Amino acid sequence: MSEVRHKAELAGKVVSVLNNLTTEQKNEALLAVAKALESGCSEIIAANEEDLQRGRENGTSLSLLDRLALNPERIKGIAEGLRQIADLPDPVGDVLETIDRPNGLHIVKRRVPLGVIGIVYEARPNVTVDAMGLCLKTGNAVVLRGGSSALSSNRKIIEIIHQALAATAIPQNAVQLIEDPSRASVDEMLKLNGLLDVVIPRGGSSLIQNVVQNATVPVIETGAGICHTFLDASAQPRMATSISLNAKVQRPSVCNAMETLLVHKDFAAQHFTDLANRFKESGVELRGCEATRQLVPWAVPASDEDYATEYNDYILNVKIVNDLDEAIAHIRRFGTKHSECIVTEDTGNAERFQREVDAAAVYHNASTRFTDGFEFGFGAEIGISTQKLHARGPMGLPALTSSKYIIQGNGQIRQ
Amino acid sequence: MSEVRHKAELAGKVVSVLNNLTTEQKNEALLAVAKALESGCSEIIAANEEDLQRGRENGTSLSLLDRLALNPERIKGIAEGLRQIADLPDPVGDVLETIDRPNGLHIVKRRVPLGVIGIVYEARPNVTVDAMGLCLKTGNAVVLRGGSSALSSNRKIIEIIHQALAATAIPQNAVQLIEDPSRASVDEMLKLNGLLDVVIPRGGSSLIQNVVQNATVPVIETGAGICHTFLDASAQPRMATSISLNAKVQRPSVCNAMETLLVHKDFAAQHFTDLANRFKESGVELRGCEATRQLVPWAVPASDEDYATEYNDYILNVKIVNDLDEAIAHIRRFGTKHSECIVTEDTGNAERFQREVDAAAVYHNASTRFTDGFEFGFGAEIGISTQKLHARGPMGLPALTSSKYIIQGNGQIRQ
C-alpha cells in the first residue's frame, strides 16, 4: 500500500475518537503541542537549517528561502498561534437548526467535524502547525503534504507534535505527514475519495490550479486574487489616494492586494496625474490604457494579458473608464471574484457596485487589504475561499465543519 | 463554439439581471410558466409521445418508460410544484452575519445566488421544470442537460418556458437546454470552470459517479444510499417491525430506503423469525449472514458485495451482530453516509449511534424514509447531498445560494 493511502487510512480510523472529544480535551492538546514546539525550538531550527542548506545548494531564490526559514521568534509566533486557536470558541456541536414536524419527529441540525482533511502546501513550515491546529480544534484528522523543500523541518515538527499528543486525548494518528516528495503523492491525495473528505490547497496559483483541475475529492479553492479598486467620479481625492495606495503597496505580495486601478474619466482628469506620481514615489510601475498614457506618458502600455495577471508585485494596471458600467464590465471580465472596491460619495453607485460585482468581498470606501480572517474578527484563517460553494471569502473555524441531521422519533413511519 | 459553451455563456450574461430581480418578479415568472405549461399540456403530451414511441422502438424498459411518460395529471402536478416554489420564502438577500469592527468597518454577509448552475439528469422530464423553478427562484441561471430519451419532451417544455418568460422580468437566456445528446456534451459541462458555478447530478449512481469523477467544476453529489437499520437488543418488537418494514417496502426504489438490516443477536433470538416472515409476505428476498441463515434457512447467503449494493428493489441484506460496536463498524464499512437508523429503548446506545455514525441523517426510532426535503418541511428539494461540503442531507432553496461579504467603510486602510 502506498504511503498516502496508508496514512489516510490511519487518519480515518481515529475519526470517531475525534468526534467524541470535548472542547477542553482538544484545547489541552493544542496547548501541549505549543509548549512542546517551544521546548523543541533548537531541534526544529537544526532541522530547518538542513532544508535551508539544501535550498542554497540548489540555488533556491532568496524569497523562497525566507519563507522556509525558521528562527526562535518565528517558532514562538507559531506556538502563540496555536494558543490563539485554543482560545477560540469550538464550533463543533453547535445547533444550526431545530425542526419539529407535525408527525412528532424532532430534527436537530448540528455542526460536526468534516472528517479527514488533506492540506497541500508549499515551503512554509508554519503551515504544518497552523493547519494541524485548525483541523484538530474542529475535531478533524489531517493529512499534510508540504513542499519537499521543507521536508526536514516538517518531519521534526511532526515528530514533536506526535510526542506531545501522546500525553493527550488526541490520537497521534490524527496528524499525518506525507513524506514522499514526488508529484505522484499529491496526485494520489487528490483522488482519495472515501478517505479524504476535502482537500485544501494553500500556496501559489499553479499549486491551486493543479488541485482544482485534478481532484475528484471535494476541494476548497483558495487564493488567486486579481483585485480592483474603482475610483468613481465623486470619490474624495484624499480617500481615493489613501485607499488605492494602501491596496497596492502596503503588502503587494498577497492575494488581497490591488492589481488594477479603474479610474472614472472625470476623476482622472482632475486627480490622476498627482495620484500617478504618488505611486511612482512608492516604486510602483504603472501599465495603463491609452487614456492613462495621455495623462501619464511614463506609464507602460497595458495589454489584456496584463489585466489578467496577478502580479503580487510593485506593478499596477490602470484603466480609465467612462462610467460605472464600464468598471463593472471590466471586473466581470478580468476579476477572480476575490475582493473588489469602489471609492465613491454616490450611495446609489456604491449599492449597484456592491450588488452587481460578483466577488467574495465587495468594499465601499475601504481597502481590499482587509479581506482576511483576522481583520474580519474570526481569530483564525484557514484561507480565503474564491469559490462559491461551502465557504466564500475569509474562512474561520466553521469552514472546517459539516453538519448532520439528528432525528428523534417514537416509531414514525412514512405513509 | 460548441453548443454547451455557447449556451453557458448566454446564461452567464444574464446573471447580473437575475441578481437585481425582486422576489415578486421571480414569483410572477414562475406562476406564468406554471400557467403556460398547463395551457400547453396537449403539445407537451404530443412531444412526449414521440419520446415514448422512440423508447418503445429501442426496447426501453417499462420502468424507464414510466419515468419518461407524461399525462395531464402529471403535467398538472409539475405546474403545481412550480406554484409551491413560488410560495416559498426567497433566501436571496438574507443577512447571515453582521460584523462591526473596532476600526469602524461594517461587514454584512448576505445570501446571493450561486450564478449559473448546471444540472445533469436522466429520463424524467419533470426534472426540467423542477430544476428550472428552484434555480430561478434563487436567482440563478440554469443549464439543463437531460437524457436524450426525453429530448422531444424537454425541447417542447423549454419552448413553452421561453415563451412564458418573454412576458416576465426573467430573461429567456436564464434557462438553457443542451440538446446535444452525446456523452461529450456532459463531459464538456463538467469542465466549464468559470462558466458554471456548480454542477448537480440527478439520477442513478453511474450518472453521479461520472460527474464526481470527471468534473473540475464544483459538484454537489447527491443520491446513492446504502441505508441501514439497526435493531438493538432493547428495541420494542412492534416498533422494530414497523420501522424496518417501512424502510424497506414502502418504496424500495428510492435512495432513503433500507438496504441492510442489522439485528442485535439477543433481539434476533427472540424476534427475527417472525420479522423475516413479515418480509417474506411483503415479497422481500432476504440475503443473510450465517447466523441469519441458522434462524431463517430460506435466506440466501449474503456476500460482501451484497452488503455494498444499493438494490433499490425487494431485496434485503441481514446481518446479526453481537453489539452496537459491530453495528457501527458495519455501517462505517458499507454505508454511503446517507441515512442510518437505530431502534432501541437504550438512550445511551441511541446517543452513541447518533454521534458516531457518520451520515447526513441519523435516526433514533423512526424510518430512514423521512430523509426528504418535503418531509423535513423545506417545501422543496433539490436533492439529498451525500457529501459534507456546502450542504448535507436534504437540500432546500438555501443550498442553491452562496454568500458575499459587503463591507462599508469611510476610508479605512490596513496598517
pLDDT at A224: 80
Give CA separation, A143 vs A160, A388, B193, B386, in Å.
16, 24, 27, 22
Model confidence band, residue A274 (pLDDT cutoffs 50, 70, 90): very high
C-beta atoms of B366 and A220 within 8 A: no
How many CA atoms are closer than 13 Å to the CA of A348, on its beta-carbon side? 3
Inter-chain touch B414–A367, beta carbons under 8 Å: yes
How close is the nearest chain A Cα to the Cα of B144, in Å?
A: 19
Cβ(A229)–Cβ(A341) under 8 Å? yes
ipTM over 0.90: yes
CA A216 distance to own-chain centroid: 21
The alpha carbon dihedral of B183, B185, B189, B191 has a sign of positive
Using CA atoms, how far residue B304 sits from B167, B263, B279, B309, B317, in Å, is: 57, 17, 21, 9, 10
- Put simply, the answer to whether A354 touches B216 (Cβ < 8 Å) is no
Comparing CA positions, the residue from A165, A194, A187, A79 lying closest to residue A126 is A79
pLDDT band at B311 (very low <50, low <70, confident <90, very high): very high
Number of H helices, E strands in chain B: 16, 16
Q: For residues B317 and B307, what is the distance between their CA atoms, to the nearest angstrom?
A: 6
The per-residue pLDDT for range B60-83, each reduced to its tens digit, is 888 889 889 999 999 999 999 999
Give me the domains of chain A, ranges plus CATH numbers.
3-222+390-408 (3.40.605.10), 227-370 (3.40.309.10)
What band does B381 get if pLDDT is binned at 50, 70 and 90? confident
CB neighbours of A31 closer than 8 A, spacing ≥ 6?
A82, A83, A86
3-state helix, strand, coil in chain A (%, to 5): 45, 20, 30
The pLDDT-based confidence of B4 (bands split at 50, 70, 90) is very high
**Spatial separation of the C-alpha atoms in residues B242 and B396, rounded to whole Å:** 29
- Residue A86: band (very low, low, confident or very high) from pLDDT cuts 50, 70, 90: very high
Contact criterion met (CB < 8 Å) for B410 and A360: no
Which of A58-62, A148-152, B22-26 shows the lowest per-residue confidence on average (mean pLDDT)?
Answer: A58-62
Which of A19, A212, A355 is nearest residue B20 as measured by Cβ atoms? A355
Taking only the tens place, the pLDDT of each residue in A106-153 is 999 999 999 999 999 988 899 999 999 999 999 999 999 999 999 999
Spell A21-49 as b/e; 16+ CB within 10 A means b: bebeebbbbbbbbbebbbebbeebbebbe
Distance from CA of B243 to the nearest CA of A (A): 6
What percent of chain A lies above the pLDDT cut of 70?
A: 100
Beta-carbon contacts of A388 under 8 Å, excluding residues fewer than 6 positions away, are A337, B114, B115, B197, B198, B218, B402
Task: Please check whether residue A209 is in contact with residue A242, taking contact to mean a CB–CB distance below 8 angstroms.
Answer: no
Shortest CB distance from A376 goes to which of B107, B328, B393? B107
* Contact (CB, 8 A) for A11 and A172: no
Residue A369 near residue A244, CB atoms below 8 Å: no
Which of A18-27, A29-38, A196-205, A403-412 is predicted least confidently? A196-205
pLDDT score, position A62: 87
Please report the pLDDT score of residue A146 as a whole number.
Answer: 95
Mean pLDDT calculated for residue range A291-319 = 97
Rounded distance, CA B219 to CA B211, Å? 8
Q: What is the rounded CA–CA span in Å between residue A215 and residue B216?
A: 7
What is A340-379 written as a DSSP string?
EEEE-S-HHHHHHHHHHS-SSEEEEEE-GGG-STTTTT-S
In DSSP terms, which residues pair with A364 in a beta bridge?
A342, B408
User: Which pLDDT score, from 0 to 100, does residue A236 have?
Assistant: 98
Are A366 and B412 in contact by the 8 Å Cβ rule? The answer is yes
Cα B78 from chain centre = 17
Residues B148, B55: contact at Cβ < 8 Å? no
Grid coordinates standing for A68? 522556509
Residues of B in contact with A197 (CB under 8 A): 388-389
pLDDT digits (tens, 9 = 90+) for B162-205: 999 999 999 999 999 999 999 999 999 999 998 999 999 988 88
* Mutation site for B-interface testing, chosen from A241, A364, A402, A410 by largest number of B Cβ within 10 Å: A402
Q: What is the pLDDT of residues B106-124, one digit of tens each?
A: 999 999 999 999 999 988 8
Edge to edge, the sheet with strand B227-231 lists A95-100, A106-113, A401-412, B361-366, B339-343, B227-231, B258-264, B315-321, B285-288, B300-301
CB atoms within 10 A of CB A302: 22
- pTM for this model (two decimals): 0.91
As beta bridge partners, residue B193 has B196
The pLDDT assigned to B382 comes to 86
Three-state DSSP class for residue A399: helix
Q: What are phi and psi of A314, to 5 degrees?
A: -80, 55
Q: What is the mean pLDDT of chain B?
A: 95
Q: What is the pLDDT of residues B122-154, one digit of tens each?
A: 888 999 999 999 999 999 999 999 999 999 999
- The three-state secondary structure class of B152 is helix
CA distance A331 to chain B (A): 13
Verify whether the Cβ–Cβ distance A250 to B413 is below 8 Å. yes
The C-alpha angle A112, A115, A119, rounded to 5 degrees, equals: 125
Distance in angstroms (rounded) separating the CA atoms of residues B87 and B27: 8
- Residues of B whose CB is below 8 A from A109: 393
Of A105, A115, A404, the CB nearest to B362: A404
| C-alpha–C-alpha distance, residues A249 and B368, integer Å | 57
* Whether the Cβ atoms of residue B155 and residue B47 lie closer than 8 Å to each other: yes
Share of chain B above pLDDT 70, in %: 100
d(CA A334, CA A324): 15
pLDDT digits (tens, 9 = 90+) for A333-369: 999 999 999 999 999 999 999 999 999 999 999 999 9
Contact B196, B217 (CB under 8 A): yes
CB pairs under 8 A, 24+ apart, for A394-398?
Answer: A394/A361, A394/B405, A395/A220, A395/A222, A397/A88, A397/A89, A397/A90, A397/A91, A397/A134, A397/A137, A397/A138, A398/A91, A398/A111
Per-residue pLDDT band for B214 (boundaries 50, 70, 90) equals very high
Q: Which amino acid is at A15?
A: V
* DSSP string covering A194-216: TTBSEEEEES-HHHHHHHHHH--
Q: Which residues pair with B116 in a beta bridge?
A: B141
What is the pLDDT, as a whole number, of residue A379?
86
Instruction: Specify the 3-state DSSP secondary structure of B347.
Output: helix
- The closest alpha carbon to B357, from B333, B392, B375, B385, belongs to B333
Average pLDDT for A156-169:
98
Of A355, A365, A371, the CB nearest to B409: A365
What residues of A are in contact with residue B242 (Cβ under 8 Å)? 411, 413
Min Cα distance B178 → chain A (Å) is 24
Per-residue confidence (pLDDT) for residue A380, from 0 to 100: 83
Q: What is the pLDDT of residue A36?
A: 98
How much is the pLDDT for A194?
A: 87
Separation in Å, CA of B117 to nearest CA in chain A = 11
SS3 label, residue A168: coil
